[in-house]
Amino acid sequence: MDVLERIIERKRTEVDYQKTVVSQRELEQRPQFNRQPLSAHDALRRPGSSGIIAEFKRKSPSKGIINDQVLVADTTAGYVRAGAACLSVLTDEPFFGGRSEDLIQARQANPSTPIIRKDFIIDPYQIVEAKAIGADFILLIAACLTPKQVQNYSQVAHDLGLEVLLEVHDEEELASHLTETVDLVGVNNRNLKTFVTDLSTSVRLSTLIPDSFVKISESGLQQAESILALQQVGYQGFLIGETFMKTADPAQALQHLLDELNQLHPLPQKHYIV
């Protein structure tokens, strides 16, 4: 069994248990459930957007502990001050050391920045839960779902006002799973089965994704030069976790990356803001 299969098996048990603890009806009564979600699509397409989706990730199956010292509210607020366009918060506990409470805290600290619930969604209950904890958009991973599930779950998300990021990592997944019902398409440079990270995956797949979707390159991004090269082939979003989280001050690491990016490729808007 590969890691992805283990994660999904564990997730099934977790979701079935969670449903007995908090019913869907109870989730629908939470105050956040009535909040109007923010659009990640708009935030990433806004002129002058940094395009960075900055992730809060304590640990991962490939790297072990990345950072268990920093607090979610401080870190995510720091990311936003530094210029993140969106935030990503891992809520998977067994493999990534996250929890729903992290997203609740990130939401409180950042009322105006779109936040993605980063988890392995295999049941519509988790989409209702995403809304109830204050997420604005959700991740659907092609490798974990059938094309039909992607369509159905996107519909559930849209009915709740949430946007959908579909994650693929090769041509086959893109061809079989891409549907008009998703809003953003993420190319994961990391193969979730082998953990090998290769940025050329994003380059290869970029022309195969229609421009109507916001294109996001995910994982393994470290250098301003790589971001610039990916912008040139059509990417508008960059999902980055470890490069920031492995430092003692993740927000400062983002600030450095944006400074480097501005030096390479100054965004005119930045210079006109007084």
Ligand X SMILES: O=P(O)(O)OC[C@@H](O)[C@@H](O)c1c[nH]c2ccccc12
Residues 131-150 that bind ligand X (CB under 6 A): 141
Give one DSSP letter per residue of 49-76, joined into a string.
---EEEEE-SEETTTEES-SSS-HHHHH
Say whether residue 220 binds ligand X (CB under 6 A). Answer: yes
Q: What are 50's two structure tokens?
A: 């940094």
Residues 37-96 that bind ligand X (CB under 6 A): 55, 57
Residues 226-255 that bind ligand X (CB under 6 A): 239-243
| Terminal CA-CA length for the chain | 55
Identify which of residues 43 and 141 has a Cβ nearer to ligand X in the complex: 141
Say which residues have a Cβ less than 8 Å from residue 25's Cβ, sequence separation at least 6. none
Of 23-31, 129-137, 148-156, 218-226: span binding ligand X (CB under 6 A): 218-226
Residue showing tokens 């920093």: 70
Containing 217, the helix (H) or strand (E) segment is: strand 214-218
Integer Cα distance of 213 and 142 in angstroms: 16
Q: How many residues bind ligand X (CB under 6 A)?
A: 15
Smallest gap from residue 104 Cβ to ligand X (A): 19
Smallest gap from residue 166 Cβ to ligand X (A): 11
Give the CA angle between residues 168, 102, 59 to the nearest 5°.
Answer: 60
Q: How far is CA 159 from the centre of its chain?
A: 20
Identify which of residues 51 and 220 has a Cβ nearer to ligand X in the complex: 220
Smallest gap from residue 271 Cβ to ligand X (A): 28
Smallest gap from residue 224 Cβ to ligand X (A): 14
- The pattern of x and - marking residues 154 through 173 that bind ligand X according to CB under 6 A reads -------------x------
Residue 272 identity: Y
Note the residues at the interface with ligand X (CB under 6 A). Answer: 55, 57, 118, 141, 167, 188, 218-221, 239-243
